[in-house]
Chain A
Amino acid sequence: MATVYFDAATRRYAGVHAAPAVDAITLDIEDGEFLVLVGPSGCGKSTTLRMLAGLEPVDDGRILVDGHDQAGVRPRDRDIAMVFQSYALYPNMTTAQNMAFALDNSRTPKAQIRERVAEAAKILELEDLLDRKPGQMSGGQRQRVAMGRAIVRQPKVFCMDEPLSNLDAKLRVSTRSQIAGLQRRLGITTVYVTHDQVEAMTMGHRVAVLRDGRLQQVDAPEVLYDKPVNTFVAAFIGSPAITLVESAVSDGRADLHGLAVPVDRTLAAAATDRVVVGFRPESWRIVPESDDGALQLTVELVEALGSESFVYARRPGTDGSGAERERVTIKTEKRAHVEVGDVIRVRPVESEAHLFDAGTGERLVG
């Protein structure tokens, strides 16, 4: 168990003009914490993880594990275990041999190896598969072996690089909670990379959002959702995405597709020029036909998920040309009976507005 500290860690790939793949990331991970690195593909999250594991050099800055600078420390000496997206099991070894390999290499006594492998196999329900080779196992089983290989080492840090993305949807959900539970039980500091924001929100103690190699925000999942620091985080976290509308502010009101929404004057004053107003899907209410002042929208698409539905709608008269920006996403109960082509009236819950500077994209705080 250990703390991990990224101190302005930077990674540049060849090509001087290109922006760094990982750009001066500073991140303090506590002992026993489950931290999720999330971001769109190419944002540098995997590279960050690989730098911690020692598979990529750190070009600038430092990475400390338990207060020790890892510069020049070989991957094998870092005591960090990694679970790869492809699992990277040794195809020539059985499950038991795969799990025992690291312990073999560290000259752990045979009896202890057997004990630890048996324990990990029990935790991961791999007892019947100990003599199988990876080629004879399903994806889910291989994934568990990969986890087992990391667990038996009892390392300082777990690094997990999208370990669930090769599983089917249902297995992914069950394995998700399994991994989170396992991490809590073992209490080993874990850095987990994913592009799936649902995984990020459900698994981590804290979530770090990356974009273009830069750290955007590190916070608990709820904070990330309720107080995103900029429009990128606001749009990335939450599914379906938040509705963001750019508008000028006049007379303390922002114009939301023609609906005047009051905004905090001090907040609006902090903006350089225009603001971006955002409402999450659950911050919209469908109001009766009689409410003349409400926003009138034509329903374009309804996603019925069973217990709830998401309604995608836009103002009448605007065709598809306005694309996503014109669209409003509304969460409704299943009793709402909204259908494609319906004209509905909606109002946002004004107190739940997110307000950003249109120029910088930063959240406006008073």
Chain B
Amino acid sequence: MSARAHGAEAISHRSPLKTVAGYTGMVLVLLVIAVPLFWIVITSLKERQDIYVRPAQWFPQPATTANYSDVTTRIPFLDYMRNSIVITGVLSMSKIVLGVLSAYALSLLRFPGRGIVFLVVIAALMVPNQITVISNYALVAQLGWRNTFQGIIIPLAGVAFGTFLMRNQFLNLPTEIIEAARLDGAGPLKLLWRVVLPMSWPTLVAFSLITVVNEWNEYLWPFLMSDDERTAPLPVGLTLLQNNDGVTNWGPVMAGTVLAMLPVLVLFLVLQRQMIKGLTAGAVKS
């Protein structure tokens, strides 16, 4: 926070040249992020033959919503949406709960071997996903869990990142407040729920948001686990859309992408306000 505040002050005292350079940089970054998004949106509104036109059309003429009705009728879009919501919901909840609980144990409870457990968790963070995929696949297929939600969810529910993030947050809390709560007779769960978590709100929201976005976009593992709309989430469903045609019809794919982005975007907008509220409250309180 303070770094940003200092930056703001510095800008107001800069020469016009530097201000221009600063804004140019910001505009460039904005373009890098916004142009692909913009392209997705306009492509979803174009007719099929307009998509491949050169030079590129920056505004669809004529605009059409046919792609949107297309995507919802040609594939069982609502099934994929439901699967995405189930998978993301259950996975996010379990990741957040496990992450918070394990971080709490590793930061504020004392037990023998705590350091070693933490090291193991960190080591798990360093193993690339792609390596565990093969053995996980063999195991889950053997259990007969392909095309089931538990087959998708359970192998993904490990939480090294959340443990790491929340542990550091908990360790940064003032120890005296924790001690005060202990003296006030708060048991471990009450301490977590009434004292530790309310003070960690911004970090928790950030962690939750990252988790939800990640799970929503999870592709590789659900793709390996699901054959059809029984369990496949949206990203996988959109790929099926792509393959149905032989030659990819990008219009419906982009329309599906836009629809897939919307729920997360809404969630982000809601939580973002929470996050900023939490951050400023902490800053003012010293």
Residues of B within 8 A of A85 (CB): 176
A86–B173 alpha-carbon span in the complex (Å): 13
Contact of A149 among B174, B184, B284 (CB under 8 A): B184
A92–B204 alpha-carbon span in the complex (Å): 15
Say yes or no for B74: interface residue by CB 8 A criterion.
Answer: no
Residues of A within 8 A of B177 (CB): 88-91
Say yes or no for B115: interface residue by CB 8 A criterion.
Answer: no
The answer to whether A75 touches B182, judged by C-beta atoms less than 8 angstroms apart, is yes
Say yes or no for B198: interface residue by CB 8 A criterion.
Answer: yes
Shortest beta-carbon distance from B204 to chain A in Å:
13
A238–B198 alpha-carbon span in the complex (Å): 46
A-B contact pairs, 25 of them (CB 8 A): A53-B179, A55-B182, A74-B182, A75-B179, A76-B182, A76-B184, A76-B187, A78-B183, A81-B184, A84-B179, A86-B174, A86-B176, A90-B177, A90-B198, A91-B177, A91-B199, A91-B285, A93-B194, A101-B181, A101-B194, A102-B184, A105-B186, A106-B185, A149-B180, A149-B184
0 or 1 for each of A156-183: is its CB under 8 Å from B? (1 = yes): 0000000000000000000000000000
0 or 1 for each of B160-176: is its CB under 8 Å from A? (1 = yes): 00000000000000101
The answer to whether B195 touches A90, judged by C-beta atoms less than 8 angstroms apart, is yes
**Which residues of chain A in 81-137 are interfacial with respect to chain B, using CB atoms and an 8 Å cutoff?**
81-82, 84-86, 88-93, 101-102, 105-106, 134-135
Residues of A within 8 A of B190 (CB): 105
The answer to whether B179 touches A101, judged by C-beta atoms less than 8 angstroms apart, is no
Say yes or no for A9: interface residue by CB 8 A criterion.
Answer: no
A76–B187 alpha-carbon span in the complex (Å): 8
Residues of B within 8 A of A76 (CB): 182-187
Contact-residue size bin, chain B (C-beta under 8 Å from the other chain): 20 to 34
Residues of B within 8 A of A93 (CB): 194
Residues of A within 8 A of B195 (CB): 90, 92
Nearest residue (CB) in A for B190 is A105
A105–B187 alpha-carbon span in the complex (Å): 8
Contact of A88 among B179, B198, B285 (CB under 8 A): B179
Given contact pairs A135-B281, A135-B285, A102 touches B176 in the complex (Cβ within 8 A): no
Nearest residue (CB) in B for A92 is B198
A76–B177 alpha-carbon span in the complex (Å): 14
Contact of A101 among B174, B186, B285 (CB under 8 A): B186
A76–B185 alpha-carbon span in the complex (Å): 4
Residues of B within 8 A of A36 (CB): none
Say yes or no for A80: interface residue by CB 8 A criterion.
Answer: yes
Given contact pairs A90-B195, A92-B199, A135-B281, A80 touches B183 in the complex (Cβ within 8 A): yes
Summed over the interface, the residue pairs from A and B with CB atoms below 8 Å come to a total of 71
Given contact pairs A90-B177, A91-B199, A101-B194, A75 touches B183 in the complex (Cβ within 8 A): yes
Nearest residue (CB) in A for B285 is A135
Looking at B180, B187, B194, the one whose CB has the most chain A CB atoms below 10 A away is B180
Nearest residue (CB) in A for B201 is A92
Q: Which residues of A contact B (CB under 8 A)?
A: 53-55, 74-76, 78, 80-82, 84-86, 88-93, 101-102, 105-106, 134-135, 149, 153
Residues of A within 8 A of B174 (CB): 86, 88
A123–B184 alpha-carbon span in the complex (Å): 21
0 or 1 for each of B120-149: is its CB under 8 Å from A? (1 = yes): 000000000000000000000000000000
Residues of B within 8 A of A88 (CB): 174, 176-177, 179-180
Given contact pairs A101-B194, A105-B190, A135-B281, A90 touches B181 in the complex (Cβ within 8 A): yes
A55–B177 alpha-carbon span in the complex (Å): 12
Shortest beta-carbon distance from B189 to chain A in Å:
11
0 or 1 for each of B61-99: is its CB under 8 Å from A? (1 = yes): 000000000000000000000000000000000000000
The answer to whether A82 touches B179, judged by C-beta atoms less than 8 angstroms apart, is yes
The answer to whether A102 touches B185, judged by C-beta atoms less than 8 angstroms apart, is yes
Residues of A within 8 A of B285 (CB): 91, 134-135
Residues of B within 8 A of A105 (CB): 184-187, 190
A101–B182 alpha-carbon span in the complex (Å): 11
**Which residues of chain B in 258-286 are interfacial with respect to chain A, using CB atoms and an 8 Å cutoff?**
281, 284-285
Nearest residue (CB) in B for A81 is B183
The answer to whether A101 touches B184, judged by C-beta atoms less than 8 angstroms apart, is yes
The 6 closest A-B pairs by CB, nearest first: A92-B198, A102-B184, A105-B185, A88-B176, A135-B285, A88-B180
A75–B180 alpha-carbon span in the complex (Å): 10
Residues of B within 8 A of A91 (CB): 177, 198-199, 285
0 or 1 for each of B206-246: is its CB under 8 Å from A? (1 = yes): 00000000000000000000000000000000000000000
A75–B191 alpha-carbon span in the complex (Å): 13
A89–B281 alpha-carbon span in the complex (Å): 15
Nearest residue (CB) in B for A133 is B285
A101–B181 alpha-carbon span in the complex (Å): 8
Residues of B within 8 A of A54 (CB): 183
Shortest beta-carbon distance from A113 to chain B in Å:
13
A156–B177 alpha-carbon span in the complex (Å): 21
Shortest beta-carbon distance from B178 to chain A in Å:
8
Residues of A within 8 A of B181 (CB): 90, 101
Contact of B176 among A78, A80, A84, A149 (CB under 8 A): A84
Shortest beta-carbon distance from B228 to chain A in Å:
47
The answer to whether A82 touches B180, judged by C-beta atoms less than 8 angstroms apart, is yes
Nearest residue (CB) in A for B186 is A105
Given contact pairs A88-B177, A92-B199, A82 touches B183 in the complex (Cβ within 8 A): yes
Shortest beta-carbon distance from B244 to chain A in Å:
52
